[in-house]
Each structure stands twice: as C-alpha cells, then as structure tokens.
Chain A
Amino acid sequence: MKIRETAWRLFSTEMNSSSLEKKGTEEKSPSYLVTRLGAMVNRVLVAGVLTEKENVGSEDEPMWKARIEDVSGSFFVNVGRFQPEAAAAMADLEVPSFVAVVGKVRTYTTDDQRVFVSVRPERIVTITEETRKRWVLEAAQSMWKRINDMKRALAVQDASAEDLVAKGFSPQEAEGIVLALDTYGFPDSVSYLKSIQGAMRMLLPDRNVDLGLPEDLSDYPDEMDIGDGESSADREDVIMGLLEELDTDGKGAPRDELERRAEAEGISGTELEEISNALMDKGLVYEPNLRYLKRI
C-alpha cells in the first residue's frame, strides 16, 4: 500500500539546521531529511511571507527561486520545469505576500560538505494572515511535541529504536530520534525554544512573552552550517591533532583508531567523514591507502 507522506509543519530553524538524509532503500521508497529533533521529513507544509522571487530560467522555461520568511528564518524555494502548476502560480504571486507551500524537501551538498535544504513546491498558494497565524501555531505545537519527545527519549539510556517503540513511540518517531541522536548528538533546545518564543510573540502580542532565553540573534542556528556549536575549524584542529598523535610509524593514522578517538571527542563517524573530506580538499591530509589517513 502506498501511503502519502505527511506534510510536516516545520520552522525554518529546524529544517535548515538538518543535514542527514536517509535515502530510500528500495525502489521508489521515499527519502527523508532527518532533523535534529528527530522528525523524518519527506513532505512539508510551510507558510510565511514571500519576500523575494526571481526567475533564473527563461520566459518559456521558468525556474523560480524564492525566499519565504517564517518567524525566525527563511525557507528557500526552488521551482523547476517539472512543477508547471507551481511555476504558473509563482509567476502571479505578489512580493511581499502571505503564501503557503506544500512540497518536498531537497538537500544539496556543496563541495566543502555544507548541506543546503530547500523546498520543491507541489502547490504554492496565497493565504490570509489568519491562515498564516494558524500555520505558525501548528508549527509551534509540532516543534514543542518533538522537544518533549526528545526529552522523553533521552531519559532512556542508550535507547534503541525498539526500546523507544516499547515506550510508546511510533516506529517512525523512534527511528528518527535514534538517527538524530547518532548523527547530531544532543540537540540544543535553546535555538528551537527561540522559534517557539518568536511564534508566541507573534500570536500573543499582548502577553509580553519572555521565556528567559539569551536574546542574542546570532545564537540562531545558521541555516547553512552543519556544525552544532563548535565551529568546523575547531573540529578540524581536533582531527589534525589526533592524526599527529596516532601516526606512530609514519604510515599515517589507522582509520578505526581515528574513528574511536574522534567518537570520544564527540565527533560521530559521519562527521569525521565530512571533516576528513574537507581536510583532503584543503590539501592538508591524504589517504596513503583506504585504511589510513595521514597529514601532509
């Protein structure tokens, strides 16, 4: 049975700080973007203010790029020629205006291993301010549920997906949470609570909402960055140090040993892969063979 993927109501902060894609294993099985809060997202429903649009294609074959602001960041929207309905709608949209998009999430990885997340619309429509607020409410409710689910999951020591299902999570929720924790580690709830705070300030202007969070705007997760707090340069230094230390016989540092040590430093296998790729691109390290990594 083919079940249509749920359209997640997701703030841009959560969507853009994700970098893990879980590819479908069987033919035609869907791929998911796994967020730091464990949502497994294939389709999204996003809403906000259309602030920019540009046709980067031609008159006959339009390719639209657009930016939609939610309460604390932007969604990047790309409409290609395989979405004729959305492309036609795009041409008629005013900037600025309230819009909603139903579409699929797409990821793009740059040469230096940074992950960009965008939305490819199936439908894009103008909406009323009321509908926009309703979306903000639903997105905030949905994010609050995931923050709490994450908390509940973290209370179970070294939980496997099965353990979480036994605790009442759905199989998909459990899989998402375990993948998220393995890849990103413990999520930084402050940046997500800020999205909720932003939503509450918009919806309840009279309540003087203050959740007591640090107000520094630069604390928002950078939508382009895949690091979580620690900058990628710091991590590269850590790995360079480990390479030096583990290279005892001049052959380089054994991969498995490096992985073990990196793990102890809080750098997962996937992250290590990303960092070593970046270091190789910079010409700082090379692989004498598949099992070793060596400083130049």
Chain B
Amino acid sequence: MKDEELTPHLEELKRVLEGKVDEETLLRELDVYLNSYKVSAEAAKRGIIRKYGDGETGFVTAESIIKKIGDLKGTEQNVDIIAKVIYVENREITARGAKKSIVSGILGDETGTASFTIWEDTGLDVQKGAAYAFRSAYTKLWNERIQINIGNRGRVEPSDMRIDLPERTYSMDTSEAKIGDLKEGMGNVTVTGRILSVETRNINVKGEPKTVYSGMMADDSGKVQYSAWNDFSLRQGETVCIKNAYIRSWKGIPQLNLGDRCEVSRVDDTFENIEDGTTRKTIGEIVSIGGGLDVEITGTVVDLRQGSGLIKRCPECNRSVLNEECAAHGKVVPVPDLRMKLTVDDGTGAISAIVNRDCTERLTGITLDAALGLAKARGDGEMVARSMAEVMMMKRVSITGNVMSDEYGPMMIVRRAREERVDIEAEAGKLLDAVEGAL
C-alpha cells in the first residue's frame, strides 16, 4: 500500500489514539502490518490500537472494530462508531410487559447518517449536536436503512472528536415518494400532496406546552395522516411540497411526520382525481406495508370465520356480547346486529376483513330482519352464518377501508363493499394475446 493510501488510516489512528503516539511510529507500524505481513487495513488498525491504546480508548474485544457510518453493512455484531448526534428523543416503550425508557435518534458523520437506539439506561444524557463514541454496538438493516443499536453489552461515551457533517448530509438521500408508497422507517422523504384537513392539539412535551398540527393529506396515489411539530401554517385545500419528512407507523398504518428539519413550500396543484383519496393495492402490497387509510382491494372470499352472522351487542358500549353478558356492563338486554369476518385472497396475499351490517346486507342480500326470522324459524342462530357462507364463498369482492396490522396480520375495517364482476372473455383474450405474442 502506498503512502497516500495510508493517509486515511493514519488519520483515523491519530484520532482514536488521541495523539498519544507520534505519526512516524504509526506510519512505521502501518507499513509493517500492511506491507510486510499483508493483513487487511482493519486488522492492522485493530492491532495497532490494541498495542498503543490504554484499553479505555480501545476495544472491548478483539472482534470490535471502528467503522464509519457509510461503511456499515447492517450485519455488524460488535462495532465502534464515533459520530455526532443529529437528533435525539427519549421514549417509553413496553417490553415484555415492563415499562422501559430508551433513547433513539439519528447519528451522523462525514460519510452518512443512520438511526440509533440505546436500549439500556446508560445514565448518560445524550445531547443533540454533541459527539459520542458508541462502543460495542450492533447494527441491523431495516427497509434498506442502517440502524445502530446499543444493547446491554454496549456503551456510549462522550467524545471530543470533531465531526464535520457535510453540508448536504440531510438532503443527500432525500427521496421523492408517492403517498401510496410510503412505508414505515422511511426518512428524508419528499412528498407533494393536498392538505385535506388541519387540526391543532396542545400537548405537553417534557413539561412544556407545545402545539401539534395534524390532519390528512392526499395525492393521486393515496392518503396519509400527518403530524407537524412546528407551525408551517398549513391551510386546508392548499397543495404543498414537504421535504425531509419521516415515516412512523401506528398499527401498521404509515404516518407522515414533519420534524424540525422539515421544509414546506407551496406548489401548484396538478392532481385531478384525489377527492376520495382511495389507494388501490394488491393484498400482497398492503400486507408488506402493514396498513393504510382508505385502501381498496379486490379479491375472492375464501373463508367466513367464527363471529360472523347474527351477533348480539351491548346497548351501552356496542361490544359484541355472548349470553347477554357484557364484559364491561354485566347483564344487559343485547341488541341484534349483523357482521361478517371474511378472509379475502387475491392470489398475492390474504387479509382479514370486518364487514358491518350495512355492507353485509348489501353483499349477501340477507337483511337483519330476515336473519332474525331465519334464526327464529330454525331455532338456531348458526343458520344465518351458514347461509351467508353459501352466498359469500368464492364471491369476488372489492372492499374499501382502513387497514391495520396486529399480531394476527393485517385487517381491514370495511367501509364500502361491492361484488366485482370480471369480464372473463375479455381478460382471457388479453392473456391469449400475450401468450401468442411471446411464443
């Protein structure tokens, strides 16, 4: 390796060893490791730091190495990162039933940025704008973005290393996205859409009152809920371009967050068809995103599950009740209702769909009155579900509603439903043309 190629490694060693070793010695050492023994640069640096470091500045185990953020692969088990905190927040999470405080945010150095999470209380008050050494961290890849984690083996220490973030760090990997394509974990996104509504809420953040502006915005691909942590004077009906927003999901539904780094500009509205803000998706797509607002899917009913048919609800809270006993209100005189829990499958994925009385009546042609009559005549409430299954199984439906995910997978609360007919001959003709064209 030639001298000029050694320079970056030399600089790194000087920084890590904080001037305890003179440059000449380091150069000589590097030369021995790299040119006489032909080990990798990483191994050379590791060896030299082991030899000259006092253990404190150095590494926890022989496996630990220093990396720049831009060099992280997302598979590191034990890595040291020295970087500046660009953004930090303290959060409370519930892990295995116990409340826990974690610290998360974004780290940056001259090569890039990555999000970080400190899972164990380190007793350190991590400050925005300060540099820290994240020791024995592990990294993961989530949605093609690197995450740096400090677990119980890791440590975080203040560092007085000077870290210059390049001017363009923030906008460097800004990506423009359609609202319908937004996914959990995206950062630095730019979206253009029409503000459909604005609400203000006053909340307390660490004892200080703060106003949050939230509402819905949409483009021609879909609709998303946004939250702005500063006043961008958003007005209903205007079309804006939002830069450097980030996405967090709630129950699988992506939400757009306008943080401190966000820029908002007014642009011409070129959307034609966004009044209802419905996103058409395949079930496979919505399963991989996890959720969404006003999503429309088309598929075949492949199951009608337990809890479908004629059900009883508590008159107080509308919960479904068994044996005239409400979990919250005790003995009640229940109100009858119709509901279907369908499984809809389009060949790309399967989703659970909860269908209310209105849509159930329309899809099955069985009204609540007819269902009550049927149950009475047969002395059996299950008859209703069976009749519904007969009508619904293998029916092709288009359903619209909000989709969210929990441990059982994605579920749609159906707001609008209709049977979807297919022009089989036309579709078959298209397929035949494609096959003949390819042969």
Contacts and interface: CB of A to CB of B under 8 A. Distances in A.
Q: Do A and B bind each other?
A: yes
Interface of A: 1-9, 45, 47, 100, 102, 122-123, 125, 127, 130-131, 133-134, 137-138, 140-142, 144, 148, 170, 193, 196, 199-200, 203-204, 207, 209, 211-212
Contact of B428 (A125, A142, A203): A203
B431 A137 contact: yes
A123 B347 contact: no
B258 interface: no
B264 to A, nearest CB: 33
B194 to A, nearest CB: 31
A102 to B, nearest CB: 5
A6 B394 contact: no
B18 to A, nearest CB: 40
A207 B394 contact: no
Interface of B: 283-284, 287, 300, 302-303, 343, 345, 347-352, 389-390, 393-394, 396, 405-410, 422, 424-425, 427-429, 431-432, 434-436, 438-439
A contacts with B: majority SS: mixed
A114 to B, nearest CB: 29
Nearest to A211: B439
B328 to A, nearest CB: 28
18 contacts: A1-B405, A3-B409, A4-B351, A6-B284, A6-B345, A6-B350, A8-B347, A45-B347, A102-B303, A131-B394, A134-B424, A137-B422, A137-B428, A137-B431, A138-B347, A200-B435, A203-B425, A204-B428
B350 A7 contact: yes
Given A142-B347, A212-B439, A3 B287 contact: yes
Given A6-B345, A9-B347, A1 B394 contact: no
B424 A137 contact: yes
A170 B191 CA distance: 26
A134 B396 contact: yes
B302 A211 contact: no
Contacts of B436: 211
Given A4-B343, A137-B431, A100 B393 contact: yes
B356 to A, nearest CB: 22
Contacts of A138: 347
3 nearest A-B pairs in the assembled complex, by CB-CB distance: A203-B428, A4-B350, A125-B393
Contacts of B343: 4
A142 B343 CA distance: 20
B431 A125 contact: no
Nearest to A47: B394
Contacts of A140: 428, 431
A200 B439 contact: no
Nearest to B252: A1
Given A141-B431, A204-B428, A207-B429, 6 more contacts: A4-B345, A6-B347, A6-B348, A9-B347, A125-B390, A125-B393
A203 B423 CA distance: 11
B389 to A, nearest CB: 8
A211 B393 CA distance: 34
A204 B432 contact: yes
Contacts of B389: 125
Contact of B350 (A5, A122, A137): A5
A177 B407 CA distance: 29
B305 to A, nearest CB: 11
B348 A127 contact: no
Contact of B424 (A1, A7, A133): A133
Nearest to A127: B394
Contacts of B302: 7, 45, 102, 123
Contact of A193 (B410, B434, B435): B435
A244 to B, nearest CB: 44
Nearest to A207: B432
A144 B431 contact: yes
A211 B347 contact: no
B424 A4 contact: no
A102 B394 CA distance: 9
A215 B439 CA distance: 16
A152 to B, nearest CB: 12
Contacts of A8: 347
A123 B303 contact: yes
Contacts of B435: 144, 193, 196, 200, 211
Given A45-B300, A45-B302, A204-B432, A6 B349 contact: yes
Contacts of B393: 100, 123, 125
